[in-house]
Structure 1
Amino acid sequence: MTSHLAEAKRTLIPRKDDKYGLLSPALVLLTFVAGLVDALSYLALGHVFVANVTGNIVFLGFAIAHAQGFVWWTSALTLVSFIVGALIGGRIIHHFGSNHAKHLLVSTCVQLVFVVAALIGIYLLNRFSAELPMGGTGALAAERSSAPSLNFPTASHIDLHIIMLIMLLAPAMGIQNSTARKLSVPDLPTTVLTMTLTGMVADTSAHGHEQSKLGRRIVVMVALAFGALTGALLQTRGHEDVILMVMIVCLLAVIAMMLPNIHSDAPWVGER
């Protein structure tokens, strides 16, 4: 147990000679961001996952089969927007991939631009839209005009708030996924943790708990779950704008970690 706790601590506060350095805590933060954005996207944007985007392929099949609660255009728009983000992430890799700190810095800055644009877009649409504020009708809308909440889409209803958020948040997560893939820090993909969970259980079964990397893997799974919990609590109270603000704070923290290290000669900064 002590060794697992020490491993968890080293993931969040790495030693100076750590092979992955500040990449580990930065990616843990981005995992928390993925939980936040998926809570928002699944609960408010029409049963889509903006970060764990694989599920949208399944959801698209559900929508084509007219399963209740699934709308084809939200899944299709999410997939296309995510691919655009992955393309942008690829160009960032092309120019900055040899320096991990600079790569993560640039990709997070671009990701931040998308999230800030989403936050500004929510306020502009709420202010200038001819329709009711997001998620309210009558007296309820008046009460919640300062706390936006999204209208859930139907086959005949297309909400500009939902379109805007998908088109801005999905590319941001496409960039994050491409960055995490390039950095290749073990057990920290920031989104899909199926293999992390499988590895933890399978390695324990095959080699004993000392080989399970339990401390490191628990940290990242807790980060995703806590992000989802935080996002769900905020979304159900109509605070989508606050979710975006929390995301912005996390992205700024990652930028603050990377900025002083772009010219560092630490082993984790250069290509491995």
Structure 2
Amino acid sequence: MTTPKTAEPAGAGPDPEARGLRLVVVLLTLTVVSGLIDAVSYLGLGRVFTANMTGNVVVLGFAAAGAPGFSVPHTATSLGCFLLGAVVGGRVAARFRGGSRRRWTRLSLAAEAALVGLSAAVAFAWPRDAGAAYALIALTALAMGLRNATVRGLGVADLTTTVLTGTLTGLAADSLLGSGTGHRSPRRTASVLAMLAGAFLGAWLVLHHGLGLPLLLAAVGSAVPAVTASGRE
């Protein structure tokens, strides 16, 4: 006699939030993208940052003081668009807070990939146009503001994706020469190396191939997590 199958209790299936790449892997990938984008902006758009706003505030001070090689309009454009992107990201975070982190992450990264992809198209179409520089600054800064608001809302420790001051401080403070705890050292080290790799690759591409190719690669680096990210750390 065949024993009838017992029905599974409701909610016993696999957690949909767990499907896809862990957020730690996603954020490390995005850290590489940040290195690419800041290489493009700093080396190719007049010594301005569009991902690292800490450096950008300092650059704005340099420009305002009249230091050669820096531009107040370029830097102000970057800061303004970054803040606008962060406002949009904050609204999205408020909409999804308490809901699906997987869906929220993927939606935000899809928007980032679209903005960076559009900037790549501009760079390929008008590689030497002065007006295009403002478009590239605005698009990439807007994308990075949106992403930073999303990453802030996700709250994954030591993976901000755009700045490393706190990460390096924690790495040194918790090292054997510091407190000796080694707390999250592998994650912090991976974050530093990811940013370094992105900056190196981005600089090499800018110097040898212009701005379009590193921006296209950055768009792909955002698009892949946009369709593969999970909601789990």
Partner of 1:173: 144
Alpha-carbon separation, structure 2, partners of 1:26 and 1:113? 17
Give the residue type in structure 1 aligned to 2:153. K
**Cα deviation digits, residues 236-270 of structure 1 (max 9, x gap):** 11331111121122112202222xx57xxxxx38x
> 1: CA distance between counterparts of 2:165 and 2:157?
13
Residue 87 (structure 1) shift: 1.0
Structure 2 residue runs without a partner (length 5+): 1-17
| 2:85 pairs with 1:85 | yes
SS in 1 for 2:53: coil
Aligned length: 212
1:37–1:231 contact (8 Å) kept in structure 2: yes
Structure 1 residue 33 corresponds to structure 2 residue 33: yes
Corresponding residue for 1:143? none
User: Is contact 1:85–1:172 with CA below 8 Å preserved after alignment?
Assistant: yes
Which residue of structure 2 lines up, in the alignment, with residue 123 of structure 1? 124
Is residue 2:74 matched to residue 1:102?
Answer: no
Q: CA deviation at 1:55?
A: 1.6
How many Å apart are 1:92 and its aligned residue? 1.2
Q: Which amino acid aligns with 1:239?
A: G
Q: How far, CA to CA, are the matches of 1:122 and 1:211 in structure 2?
A: 43
The AA in structure 2 aligned to 1:251 is S
Give the alignment's Cα RMSD to 1 decimal.
Answer: 1.8
Task: Give the drift of 1:93.
Answer: 0.6
Deviations 1:123-169 (A, max 9, x none): 33x3xxxxxx52xxxxxxxxxxxxxxxx7xxxxxxx11210101110
Normalising by structure 1, what TM-score?
0.73
Distance 2:90 2:187 in 1: 28
Aligned mates of 1:123, 1:48 — CA distance in 2: 20
| Shift of residue 214, structure 1, vs aligned partner | 2.1
Q: Give the CA deviation at 1:212.
A: 3.8
Matches within 5 A, 1:4-19: none
What's 2:46 paired with? Answer: 46
**Which residue, 158, 183, 192 being the options, matches 2:163?**
192
TM-score after normalising by structure 2: 0.85
1:201 aligns with 2:202: no
Shift of 1:88: 1.1
Provide the identity percentage: 37
Contact 1:49 1:55 in 2 (8 A): yes
Measured after TM superposition, the shift of residue 231 of structure 1 is 0.3
Moved over 6 A (4+): none
Instruction: Decide whether the 8 Å contact of 1:35 with 1:227 is kept in 2.
Output: yes
In 2, distance between residues paired with 1:244 and 1:191? 16
Deviation at 1:175, TM superposition (A): 0.8
Amino acid in structure 1 at the alignment position of 2:35: G
Is the CA contact 1:92–1:106 (under 8 Å) kept in the aligned structure 2?
A: no
State the distance in 2 between where 1:105 and 1:202 align: 34
